[in-house]
Structure 1
Amino acid sequence: MTTYLSVWKLRFLTGLQYRTAALAGLATQLFFGFIFIMIYVAFYSQSTVNPSISLQQLAAYVWLQQIFLTFVMLWFRDNELFQLITSGNIAYELCRPCGIYSFWYAKLLAQRLSSAALRCVPILIVAVLIPAPYRLTLPPSPLALLLFIVTLLLGLLLIVSISMMIYISVFWTMSPTGSTLMIAVTGEFFSGMVIPVPLMPVWMQYITYALPFRWTSDFPFRVYSGQIPETEALWGILIQLLWLALMLTVGKWWLNKALRQVVVQGG
């Protein structure tokens, strides 16, 4: 455990050095946050039916997407791991006196946390200070805020376990492009990053609820705004834990299978 904590700390501190990239990402996320909310304001102003999520809750949904983007997006990747697999340098990883899955998991987790640490506070300040209906409002109760923090952290652990599947699949495809596109595009849509889940057709929502992606972003964001009641959030946390246990188990099994079949030329 000490080894993995050391790896996490080292990678976290390394990620904090990329301040220029964080500033560029911060400006981009603020821009898209305003654009998305403007679009929803226009739609809501002309709507003839009562949507299942209010405009205030939807604004919070959009801003939380932008604030914690590196927590929830599957496009966030480590090219170093892809190069280790495709170049054959995975042999060096096999020499480490620790489990590869846990080692990589700690690195990916630290990268996401360090990137979010540089961006989330400035975006949060802007989102809270701007006027309605663009403002990010506070949760309806302290309990809702606590549940949001718990669900967000569990969602982060789950998204890293899902992203591990992308890296493991490259042992067979030998190309990160296909795996990233297939899993990331599917995950981004069904997690509510393109269309918020409450605005999807009912039949599509049923598909979304059966997949793990919505538990990484849609669920904690709706808990924050109060769109998901606190009692329902407690059951959702249990489902998050079940999905996390399943993804970790499958991921470790799949990686062990890949390592038994790996061939390093010239080794």
Structure 2
Amino acid sequence: MSVYYSVLKLRLLNGMQYRAAALAGVTTQFFWGFMFIMIFQAFYENATVNPPITLKELIIYLWLQQAFLTFIMLWFRDNEIFNLITTGNIAYELCRPCEIYGFWYAKLLAQRLSSALLRCFPILIVAFFLPEPYRMTLPSSLTASILFFLTLILGLLLVVAISMFIYISVFFTMSPVGSTLIIGVLGEFFAGLIIPVPLMPEWLKSIAYVLPFRYTADFPFRIYSGHIPQNDALIGVLIQLTWLVALIWLGKLGLNKALRRVVVQGG
């Protein structure tokens, strides 16, 4: 574990150097945050029925999306790993005295953490001082805060486990384009990043509830806003852990199978 911790620490420190890129990201995410809020505000003002989630809860949901975007977006990728696979330089990775899955997992986790740490605080601080109806508010209780942080971290671990399948698929396809698009688009849709899950039609919502994607974003954000009760949150934590163990196990199986097929020529 010391090897993976060292990789995580070094990549985290390296990622914290990109402050100009983070500033540009913060500006962009404020633009998208305001745009989404104004769109949904217009829908709510003209709604003929009571929506399943209040506008205030939805505004919190949207600001959390923007603040922790690098935690939850599946199209956030490491081109270095893609190049290692497609150029044959994966041979150097095979020489490392550690498991490739754990090494890549720690690396990807650090990249998301460093990017989120640079972006989330400016967004959240400003959002707390905005005028109504754009203002962000604190969770309803200390318990809700603890559950939010727990589920957010589990969601981050789950996102990295899901994204690992994109890299594993490149061993078979030799191109990251298809798997990135398919997993990215489907994952972000069912995570509630395009349409919040509570606003989906019932048949689509039932699909989202059986997939792991909503536990990366929709679930922790609705705990923060108070839309998910604490008892349901505890059940959801168990589901998050189950998905995490299952996806890591399947990912290791898939990577080991892919590595058995690797042929490196030349040199």
State TM-score, norm by structure 2: 0.99
Aligned to 2:143: 143
SS in 2 for 1:264: coil
SS in 2 for 1:103: helix
Aligned to 1:31: 31
Deviation at 1:265, TM superposition (A): 1.7
Report whether the alignment pairs 1:221 with 2:216: no
The residue type equivalent to 2:28 in the other structure is T
The residue type equivalent to 1:141 in the other structure is S
Using the alignment, how far apart are the partners of 1:197 and 1:158 within structure 2?
A: 18
Deviation at 1:176, TM superposition (A): 0.6
Report whether the alignment pairs 1:128 with 2:116: no
What are the ranges of 5 or more consecutive residues in structure 1 without an aligned counterpart? none
* Aligned-pair identity (%): 69
Report whether the alignment pairs 1:57 with 2:57: yes
The residue type equivalent to 2:146 in the other structure is L
SS in 2 for 1:170: helix
What are the ranges of 5 or more consecutive residues in structure 2 without an aligned counterpart? none
Report whether the alignment pairs 1:75 with 2:69: no
The residue type equivalent to 2:57 in the other structure is Q
Deviation at 1:131, TM superposition (A): 1.1
Deviation at 1:138, TM superposition (A): 1.1
The residue type equivalent to 2:242 in the other structure is L
Considering only aligned residues, what root-mean-square deviation do their CA atoms show, in Å?
Answer: 0.6
Aligned residue pairs total 267
The residue type equivalent to 2:81 in the other structure is L
Aligned to 2:179: 179
Runs in 1 of length 4+ with deviation above 3 angstroms?
Answer: none
Report whether the alignment pairs 1:250 with 2:243: no
Using the alignment, how far apart are the partners of 2:187 and 2:133 within structure 1?
A: 29
The residue type equivalent to 2:92 in the other structure is Y
Deviation at 1:28, TM superposition (A): 0.3
The residue type equivalent to 1:226 in the other structure is G
Using the alignment, how far apart are the partners of 1:265 and 1:58 within structure 2?
A: 54
Deviation at 1:109, TM superposition (A): 0.2
Aligned to 2:8: 8
For 1:52-76, what per-residue CA distance to the aligned partner results, in whole angstroms no more than 9, with x for missing partners?
1000000000000000000000011
Query: Any residues of structure 2 matched to 1:142-221 within 5 Å, and which?
Result: 142-221=142-221
SS in 1 for 2:179: helix
Deviation at 1:133, TM superposition (A): 1.1
Report whether the alignment pairs 1:115 with 2:115: yes
The residue type equivalent to 2:19 in the other structure is R
Using the alignment, how far apart are the partners of 1:207 and 1:48 within structure 2?
A: 26
State TM-score, norm by structure 1: 0.99
Using the alignment, how far apart are the partners of 1:37 and 1:79 within structure 2?
A: 33
